[in-house]
Structure 1
Amino acid sequence: MAHDLRTQEIKNPIDVAEYLFKRLHEVGVRSIHGLPGDYNLVALDYIKPAGLSWVGNCNELNAGYAADGYARVKGVAAIVTTFGVGELSAVNALAGAYSEYVPVIHIVGYPSTTAQRDGLLLHHTLGNGDFHAFSKMSAQISCAVSLLNDPHEAATLIDNAIRECILKSRPVYISLPTDIVQKKVDGDRLKTPLDLSYPPNDPEKEDYVVDVVLKYLHAAKNPIILVDACAIRHRALAETHELIEKSGLPVFVTPMGKGAVSENLPNYGGVYAGDGSNKGVRERVESADLVLSIGGIKSDFNTAGFTYRVSQLNTIDFHSYAVKVRYSEYPGVRMNGVLTKVAQKMGKLNIEQGPTPNNDIPDDEIMSPSPTITQAWFWPNLGQWLDPNDIIITETGTANFGIWETRFPKNVTAISQVLWGSIGYATGACQGAALAAKEMGIKRTILFTGDGSFQLTAQEVSTMLRNKLNPIIFVICNNGYTIERFIHGWEDSYNDVQEWKYKDLPAAFGALPGQVATYRVETKDEVMSLFKNDEFASGDNQKLRFVELVMKWDDAPAALRSTAESTAKRNAEAAANN
């Protein structure tokens, strides 16, 4: 009775699902990924009235990857699954989003609160009356879990989850039971937008940290800046760019930070990844007497197998949660404010220039009479073909490492899953990224994936066709898992895959006449002809373009070779120690 009285007191009652989807619209979501299931069907009816579109993926794993790709372009994404069977299929993708700091809102249609309370033996459950098992699993890969079991708390829990998702740049989990969907909340709350600003640093602490940073910066003879993924994820790019441009210091990116910095800046020096670095980069970075590391994630693939040789004694780390100057940590001092003040106060610095990366083809590749497309030849050539504002997605494998050798034009967005490294990610992410690009008026989304990886999530080409998306897809046909071969099992059958007729797949997925153009390139000349084909390259081309790019099974970028060698060595040492 008390609940009914409280509902009657609401001046502008709206349904919980309407409130949820309107809040998603407010923060920039325009498309909802996911799959229908009987526990979320009524909630799905609220998507269109809220000004949102339903994507409709082929499976929940792909939907999770797609939401991840969408969020990396748009800033936040949402996925709807059903209880148990649906949400668990998405867990791998959401774990990747958690690992790589990608803000995805996961909404799960739940059985009714009465069914949960009575422990009913329902389908999609474990049959033991435990309705919390799955949310507990997702709690490990979410920065907030909001179980909407009480309509009087629902609006507050929704607002909190969305805010946490964006401020912490990680997935959140929202349960939506079937009997809560149409319960009432106060619609007047929507008149107050969510506060998505970061809490300011304590001014005294911030100023102290700024003074410490400036002291070491002015004392340094040849400092450099190194930008990594968390500068992107934690919305510090504006402050980072101000520091780069005002200081004139040589700036480098890590593999995960690729695309964070405009690569046509005169002080841009290339990709630093220890032994896997671009030409001249390792020497310049490792000889620096001070490294300003912004948003660093020092994972194995991001450092080419932990081959960084930069002392903490020469490093200042800027993070979302703290600043670390050499061995002194200042917790609770967020990088954004510190970077702004350092840029404003630094004055003249000692500058020793770094290398200038380019898209020149290596001499031995120019001299080679072989028509075979090689990794060393292809990736610099790609850099000559790319346009400003392109979105480039590279799969974990040869593409992910090859792109280090591609110098981007202005404002290119690079998407790859360097830390989580779930093969198949890139094709799903391409669907989400291409959809976000379409919403934002960005003309070209380009995917590079290996044949082995593509086979895991190929169905998302179907979703692209359904949503009338027109990305350019390159499937590298090199007969299997090349990255795995370089780690272990050079010619073993477990690294082989069935050879598909890849370019026949769009037709099998129901492409309409004129909706797709397919190509197969086997030689360097054929690649160059394709790159020079204006119709193929055009951002205004409304066709999905699908390319079989043939490379040798035993060829890989130099950075992949060195990283794989390091990984294999570490695995062997671990085995020997046991």
Structure 2
Amino acid sequence: MDTPSAEARLVRVGDYLIERLRDHGVGHVFGVPGDFVLGFMQKLEQSPLTLVNTCDEQGAGFAADAYARIHGLGVACVTYGVGGLKLANSTGQAYAEESPVVVISGAPGLAERARHPLLHHKVRAYDTQLRVFERLTIASTLLGDPETACREIDRVLAMAVRHKRPVYIELPRDMVETEVVAHGTPALPDNSTDPPVLAAALAEATATIAAAERPVIVLGVEVQRFGLTDAALRFIERTNIPTAVTLLDKSSIGERHPSFIGVYAGAMGREEVRVYVEESDCVILLGALLTDVNLGGFTGHLDPARCIHATRGRLAVGYHIYEHVRLADVVNGLAGANLPRRDPHDTPRPAEIAPVIDSDPEARITVAGLFGRVATSLTDETIVIADPGDALFGAADLPIPRSVGFLAPAYYASL
């Protein structure tokens, strides 16, 4: 091991991982104990982080996903094989729906792997689980080298935060207490938009918006994921452009906001919202994913020639494509642009679900009555989680007052 310099310090691998999770704002870790992860879990229990023991590993994965959507980074911690592989489904959902979840799996120690070819929980080879998660995450690592362990922790966590997608860290149980040298946090390569490209993209986008007679904004889930809600609201409020969401994006904007018109879901949504969005001469899609569910089973029809579509690394103005343009640069650019303020008329208003206060105990239970009862119980502190199917589509018009107050796997669609 290298002798630590004045800038470096000695630290145990398990302690460093916990420290870096805290640095990224994590306050809770969800998981299920197992022998290959007990040493690290003991450290978690002794740390300022709160360890939440869930009923099973998949539940830990879904809980970490929900936590990430609300707080910015979620963590699931499980044992090897029987624990880790149960997280494949929830990790797939996190990747598809752009949720930064850190999967930490305990694993057989490096020394015992060499001595014992048939340890419990092993499937095919000791790297089988690592190979599975390489296909489900944006970055993965086996903390098997004391020389690189801290750098690998930093790299993987930084990738989760930058790309808003899950990552995987495999921690052999004999590495938890290993002392290593931490050299400081390295920076990822710069990924900012090339200034001339950004200037040209924003010039074309703003000119298109300014010339439109009836623009509409569809505020997408990536705006929330990348922490751009405030900038998007500045754009909405400066221009007074009516704003919709799709099912995956529901509550990206508080539904009491005066510019909010409802959920756009093609023919599966309210007709007045569908018509308003599809007949707009400029549909500004900010971080929206045009999936089959978001488009109402592809019953939605958005003319690309009349769309401005900004996603995590691309901007399309009609059929003119600007690659490697960051969503943050587009949203912030639009928020600061000199655009006319609109005075829209005859815009749809959010659906009103009649609250059910008292009802006849002998009356039949109906879907409308059920969602009316749910609507009655919603407060500014409520977070609604809707499963796919009737729960999701029935909840589309529930009045969600707070931003990020509605969570649903409306793309991956896992129960």
Assess same fold via TM > 0.5. Answer: yes
Distance across 1 between alignment mates of 2:28 and 2:156: 18
Aligned-residue offset at 1:49: 3.4
Aligned-partner SS, 2:385: strand
Q: 1:339 to 1:198 in 2, by over 3 A?
A: farther
Distance across 2 between alignment mates of 1:46 and 1:385: 39
Partner AA of 1:171 in structure 2 = P
Corresponding residue number in structure 2 for 1:427: none
Q: Within 5 A, what are the aligned runs for 1:32-71?
A: 32-71=29-68
- Return the match for 2:126 from 127, 131, 137: 131
Percent sequence identity over matched residues? Answer: 29
Partner AA of 2:130 in structure 1 = S
Moved more, 281-290 or 64-73: 64-73
Aligned-partner SS, 1:32: strand
Distance across 1 between alignment mates of 2:188 and 2:64: 20
Q: 1:401 to 1:410 in 2, by over 3 A?
A: same
Corresponding residue number in structure 2 for 1:296: 288
8 A Cα contact 1:7 1:184, kept in partner:
no
Q: 1:197 to 1:94 in 2, by over 3 A?
A: same
- Return the match for 1:81 from 70, 78, 81: 78
Partner AA of 1:180 in structure 2 = M
- Return the match for 1:221 from 213, 217, 221: 213
Q: CA deviation digits over 1:78-100, x for unaligned, max 9?
A: 11111211101111111111111
Corresponding residue number in structure 1 for 2:146: 151
Distance across 2 between alignment mates of 1:59 and 1:115: 27
State the structure with more CA Rg. 1
Distance across 2 between alignment mates of 1:93 and 1:216: 40
Is residue 248 of structure 1 aligned with residue 240 of structure 2? yes
Aligned-partner SS, 1:259: coil
- Return the match for 2:97 from 94, 97, 100: 100
- Return the match for 1:355 from 348, 351, 354: 348
Is residue 343 of structure 1 aligned with residue 335 of structure 2? yes
Unaligned runs of 5+ residues in structure 2 are none
- Return the match for 2:166 from 161, 166, 171: 171
> Normalising by the residue count of structure 1, what TM-score does the alignment of the two structures yield?
0.67
Distance across 2 between alignment mates of 1:288 and 1:119: 66
Q: 1:219 to 1:146 in 2, by over 3 A?
A: same
Aligned-partner SS, 1:308: coil
Aligned-residue offset at 1:318: 0.9
Find runs of 4+ consecutive structure 1 residues off by over 6 angstroms: 194-198
Distance across 1 between alignment mates of 2:338 and 2:66: 37
Aligned-residue offset at 1:137: 0.9
Is residue 283 of structure 1 aligned with residue 275 of structure 2? yes
Is residue 72 of structure 1 aligned with residue 69 of structure 2? yes
Q: CA deviation digits over 1:252-291, x for unaligned, max 9?
A: 0101110001211222100000001225111111110110
Corresponding residue number in structure 2 for 1:271: 263
Aligned-residue offset at 1:154: 0.4
8 A Cα contact 2:155 2:188, kept in partner:
no
Aligned-partner SS, 1:256: helix
Corresponding residue number in structure 2 for 1:234: 226
Distance across 2 between alignment mates of 1:253 and 1:141: 27
Aligned-partner SS, 2:249: coil
8 A Cα contact 1:78 1:104, kept in partner:
yes
Q: 1:196 to 1:241 in 2, by over 3 A?
A: farther
Q: 1:257 to 1:196 in 2, by over 3 A?
A: farther
Partner AA of 2:363 in structure 1 = P
RMSD: 2.4
Aligned-partner SS, 2:138: coil
8 A Cα contact 2:305 2:319, kept in partner:
yes
Distance across 2 between alignment mates of 1:79 and 1:197: 27
Q: 1:48 to 1:242 in 2, by over 3 A?
A: same
Corresponding residue number in structure 2 for 1:403: 395
Q: CA deviation digits over 1:125-158, x for unaligned, max 9?
A: 12x5x21111111111100011111011000000
Moved more, 15-24 or 410-419: 410-419
Distance across 2 between alignment mates of 1:301 and 1:107: 31
Aligned-partner SS, 2:412: coil
Q: CA deviation digits over 1:91-119, x for unaligned, max 9?
A: 11111111111111111111122333567
Aligned residues: 409
**Which structure has the higher relative contact order (CA within 8 Å, separation 6+)?**
2
Corresponding residue number in structure 2 for 1:323: 315
Q: 1:386 to 1:8 in 2, by over 3 A?
A: closer
8 A Cα contact 1:34 1:57, kept in partner:
yes
8 A Cα contact 2:68 2:99, kept in partner:
yes
> Normalising by the residue count of structure 2, what TM-score does the alignment of the two structures yield?
0.92
Aligned-partner SS, 2:53: coil
8 A Cα contact 1:359 1:383, kept in partner:
no
Aligned-partner SS, 1:137: helix
Corresponding residue number in structure 2 for 1:371: 363
8 A Cα contact 1:32 1:80, kept in partner:
yes
